[in-house]
């Protein structure tokens, strides 16, 4: 088909006011044609959530996510009815920390330089086409990105966690330690000690004192609920180990949590959690998720305190499998919290942009709630998973041989799988 015919078909699937550039296809003459997604199917309220899967280093999951983020925020800047902000979690080395370190002064400068550099001609063409669509990553990431570092910019006291709910507190503990008794104890602790005064150290001292006073009994009462002393001892043992942390304030009830209230339309906040242990990463992730869910719920209900807050917020996180593993045998109220957010997020404008090497590692309910999937190069063994039945046998064969910068797109508004290309992130261009 000619480019004009392809473009007419693709444009007919998404209303002009809802178009978000997702990538490009080519006609038989190598003419680039933009592929649009529907804003309301990606960021709410009709549907939500994006999942990007593929082999590490080849599929370019983070690279594509940054292209999508630049495209969506550019759209938001152009149309005030598309009020959007993005929160990204840096989970690997300096993956996201360099997004605003460009070797170019402007997008025009970047396109001009790429045209002269060996191996970057196609990227130059795609960025030129993206510019025609109003997408400018240099402008977006230089003007709108902010980076937050652990200990320096954020840390949490016990009261900060308890007021965000028991599941944020529970996320500090190893999943293998959490059973129904442990969860019940944390619920009771939340009820009794959410008092704006108790710190982690004070909690430990108080529970230890109560154990000493009840040496002749196998049970103690916390917030009108009876708990076995072995469960309380287990909790104290685990908590003492956890407190050796750079993001937990031990002595004072309050720390310095990230104040997500200050995020504005068009912002791209990058929260560095790479230096943290896995349990600390979970806690920070769920803390932000809890805050955003609460704020967007209030905004949806007309709370005047959040009148200027973005109507939609997207969260990008790589290695999503660490937060929502597919293991069915593991008891995980933490994962259930994420499942709940994924299920109702579209209605309040909260969406996930998740990435992982293997879709089979992600909880099926979370994966099933996504409206948009992008699949990069994937091995035959992984392709045998039932998730990939969305692709025909012929498409699966092609997925095994995809190159960097190529993905299969499955998007609810387009209805059929389509191969797309996207350009290299400009901060990763090497001379």
If phi > 0 it is left, if psi is from -120 to 50 it is alpha, else beta; for residue 117 that is beta
Query: Under 8 Å CB-to-CB from 205, ≥6 apart: which residues?
Result: none
Residue 431 is predicted with a pLDDT of: 58
Residue 325 is predicted with a pLDDT of: 84
Q: Which residues of the chain have pLDDT under 70?
A: 59, 327-334, 431
> Do the bridges between strand 225-228 and strand 219-222 make them parallel or antiparallel, or are there none, so unpaired?
antiparallel
Dihedral in degrees, nearest 10, Cα atoms 249, 250, 252, 254: 40
Residue 337 is predicted with a pLDDT of: 78
Residue 239 is predicted with a pLDDT of: 98
Q: Dump strand ranges (E) for 243-307.
A: 268-272
Tell me 102's DSSP state.
Answer: -
Residue 338 is predicted with a pLDDT of: 83
Residue 331 is predicted with a pLDDT of: 57
- Average pLDDT value over all residues in the chain: 94
Residue 332 is predicted with a pLDDT of: 67
- Residues listed for the chain: 431
Q: Token pair for residue 253?
A: 């009830």
Residue 330 is predicted with a pLDDT of: 54
- Identify the H or E element spanning 409: strand 406-411
Number of other CB atoms surrounding residue 404 within 10 Å: 15
């Amino acid at each position: 088909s000619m480019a004009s015919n392809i473009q007419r078909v693709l444009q007919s699937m998404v209303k002009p006011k809802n178009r978000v550039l997702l990538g490009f296809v080519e006609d038989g003459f190598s003419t680039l044609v933009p592929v649009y997604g529907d804003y309301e199917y990606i960021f709410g309220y009709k549907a939500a959530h994006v999942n990007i899967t593929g082999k590490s280093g080849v599929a370019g999951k983070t690279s594509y996510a940054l292209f999508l983020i630049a495209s969506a925020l550019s759209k938001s800047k152009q149309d005030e009815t598309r009020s959007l902000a993005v929160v990204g979690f840096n989970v690997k080395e300096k993956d996201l920390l360099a997004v605003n370190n460009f070797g170019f002064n402007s997008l025009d400068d970047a396109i001009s330089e790429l045209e002269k550099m060996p191996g970057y001609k196609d990227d130059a063409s795609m960025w030129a086409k993206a510019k025609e669509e109003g997408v400018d990553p240099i402008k977006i990431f230089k003007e709108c990105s902010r980076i937050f570092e652990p200990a320096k910019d954020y840390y949490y006291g016990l009261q900060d966690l308890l007021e965000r709910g028991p599941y944020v507190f529970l996320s500090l503990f190893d999943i293998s330690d959490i059973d129904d008794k442990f969860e019940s104890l944390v619920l009771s602790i939340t009820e009794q000690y959410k008092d704006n005064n108790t710190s982690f150290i004070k909690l430990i001292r108080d529970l230890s004192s109560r154990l000493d006073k009840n040496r002749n009994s196998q049970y103690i009462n916390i917030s009108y609920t009876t708990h076995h002393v072995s469960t309380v001892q287990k909790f104290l043992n685990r908590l003492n180990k956890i407190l050796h942390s750079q993001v937990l304030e031990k002595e004072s009830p309050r720390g310095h949590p990230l104040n997500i209230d200050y995020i504005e339309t068009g912002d791209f906040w990058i929260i560095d959690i790479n230096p943290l242990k896995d349990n600390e990463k979970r806690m920070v992730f769920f803390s932000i998720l809890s805050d955003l869910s609460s704020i967007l719920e209030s905004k949806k209900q007309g709370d005047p305190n959040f009148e200027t807050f973005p109507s939609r917020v997207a969260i990008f996180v790589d290695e999503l499998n660490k937060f929502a593993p597919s293991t069915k045998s593991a008891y995980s109220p933490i994962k259930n919290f994420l499942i709940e957010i994924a299920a109702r997020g579209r209605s309040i404008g909260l969406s996930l942009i998740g990435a992982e090497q293997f879709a089979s590692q992600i909880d099926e309910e979370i994966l099933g709630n996504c409206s948009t999937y992008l699949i990069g190069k994937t091995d035959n063994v992984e392709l045998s998973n039932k998730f990939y039945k969305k692709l025909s046998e012929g498409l699966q064969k092609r997925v095994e041989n995809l190159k960097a910068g190529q993905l299969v797109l499955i998007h609810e508004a387009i209805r059929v799988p389509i191969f797309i290309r996207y350009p290299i992130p400009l901060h990763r261009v090497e001379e």
